[in-house]
Chains A and B, each alone.
Chain A
Amino acid sequence: MLEGINKIGDLEWEVPIGYVADMRVPGRFFLSLALAETLEEGAVRQLANVATLPGIVKHSLAMPDIHWGYGFPIGGVAAFDMTEGVISPGGVGFDINCGVRLITTPLTEADLAGKKRDLIERFFNAVPTGVGAKSTLRVSNKELSDVMVNGARWAVERGFGIEEDLVRCEEEGAMPGADPGAVSAKARQRGLPQLGTLGAGNHFLEIQVVKEVVDPEAARAFGIAEGQICFMVHCGSRGLGHQVATDHLRILESALGKYRIRLPDRQLACAPVDSPEGRAYYGAMVCAANYAWANRQVIMHEARKVFSGMFGIDYDDMRLIYDVAHNVAKFERHDIDSASAEVCVHRKGATRAFGPGAPGIPREYAAIGQPVLIPGSMGTSSYLLRGTTTAMQKTWGSTCHGAGRVLSRSKAKKEVRGRELREQLAGEGILVRAPHDAVLAEEAPEVYKPSHEVVRVVHEAGLSGIVARLNPLGVIKG
């Protein structure tokens, strides 16, 4: 472990006040010794920088997929007091509500025999993918406001899904507090042609098989069984969200003097939660988050149509288990020193993991805790977990979001050839389709920490419980 960090539990570490100047609270993160080898000093410094922000409550936290980002570290979680505290786009990221949803089908692996390549091709044709991809959907500017306020509900009302889908999304697919007036004309211009597109980078649409059920009771409640074919959608708010982050980062950066906020990193630009600038960012961020829920809803709809067309299964038999956000700031009630209080929780590359009985999770999952979805890197397992009471007590009901990179993209491109990787994965029964082989190298399995180790840490630390492991069979990449 790096110098200056104290071990406070089997998998728990503390970054003491003083690690960087002006820290108001200590930092805490969760990591195994195996993962500690890949911990970057820069990521710990970013975790400590977050602890300098006004109104931070208890700790600056990071999950075991912690790595070096900008502003908050990736895997960073922090809560801020609603009056003394701040809201920061640096605690959310440029891809607002980048997230994941998991859908089951009534099919088994045998049903896919000989049809997998055709299925992947149809997915690739149904969902616009990669840099420069534009949607076939026509949305007016007025309708875009509706998307930004109503999120996944807009999509369901347009026929892209069924009513039951909504309750199985975090925030039921639309956060309250959207302020379309705080979204610039530029953000709208970018958002209009991109609704229903996957994007690029680590975003994907993946066919998976449930390889192992670890927690049968929770699996039953979530409606998932061993051998079942599922699919997973991973994407965010596209250019609209990127522009909202860019616009408001500049506004907040210019307002720092007004609120006398001194920062160790300009990317942590922020304003009091209840200030004109803070409220405007929140209202615009909610719009982008809701756009992302509509986006994943539309993509799921297209994938369901492909499945029913090819296999003759009912649209309604493809059940959405849950949809989670990875990059978002929210007003949530939590217990602080035995009293309940509202705080502004930032999760940047972290997943909400509310435990049994927590408010805001679907009634059908109330006894189990919310489903948590951890996508694997290309070619590795993804996991379905459940939220826990421990997460509520230790991490504002949060857990990891993915594997976390260990190799830079430039090194990955030198060490991995896209085409060879595609052929190697095909040899393992995993078909990959992307606009260009070069994009595959940057997302090769070896550039990520092993997802099983990250998931093991959150499971053993009690931040969430493993329910099932899913293996990839085919993936379309952006």
Chain B
Amino acid sequence: MSFEELDHTADVLMRVRGATITEVFSDAGRAMFHVMYGSCEDRGVKRRFALEAEDLESLLIDYLSELLFITDVENIVFCSFDIDIEGTRLSAVARGEPFDPARHAAGALIKGISYFGLEIVKEEETYAVDIIFDI
């Protein structure tokens, strides 16, 4: 549904909201790539992966860390994420385009995703999570 950047002096703090847990995961991916590269288009590059963790918070960190790994090694900028979650098992299809220095060099390199304050909470009709990206 949405993500917004909140104030954090050292790093980047993003609040992500979604009607469902899968939407939260999908928008957390979008938020991370927004920080790193700014704009992005789907130009047919696709990667698929599956993960399992002991709880949803660890799953979210593993999922974002996997995307960080792929973008760092393969130079792919992702913009959309199809997520399927069953319990604490996730499968993801990420779509995007090859890194282009002319369009993608204005962002910030993310070093890692912090556990600090990371908790997926239910707020009436939506789920929300605050994520600190170390940059």
Contact = CB atoms under 8 A, between A and B. Distances in A.
Interface of A: 40, 67-71, 74, 93-95, 130-132, 186, 189-190, 199-201, 239, 242-243, 245-246, 249-250, 253-254, 265-267, 269, 405-411, 435-436, 438-439, 442, 478
A201 B108 contact: yes
Contact of B114 (A70, A189, A435): A70
Contact of A94 (B57, B99, B104, B112): B112
Contacts of B109: 130-131, 199-201, 478
A131 B109 CA distance: 6
Contacts of A411: 7
B134 A94 contact: yes
B115 A267 contact: yes
A132 B105 contact: yes
Interface string B74-99: 01000000000000000000000001
Contact of B135 (A132, A201, A269): A201
Contacts of B106: 436, 438-439
Interface string B11-49: 110000000000000000000000011000000000000
Given A243-B69, A406-B9, A439 B108 contact: yes
Contact of A132 (B7, B104, B117): B104
B5 A405 contact: no
Given A131-B104, A131-B105, A246 B112 contact: yes
Contacts, number: 116
A132 B75 contact: yes
B9 A131 contact: no
B10 A67 contact: yes
A253 B115 contact: yes
A254 B112 contact: no
B54 interface: yes
Contact of A95 (B108, B111, B114): B111
B132 interface: yes
A254 B115 contact: no
Contact of B8 (A68, A131, A132, A186): A68
B65 interface: yes
A409 B108 contact: yes
A243 B110 CA distance: 11
Contacts of A69: 10-11, 116
A444 to B, nearest CB: 13
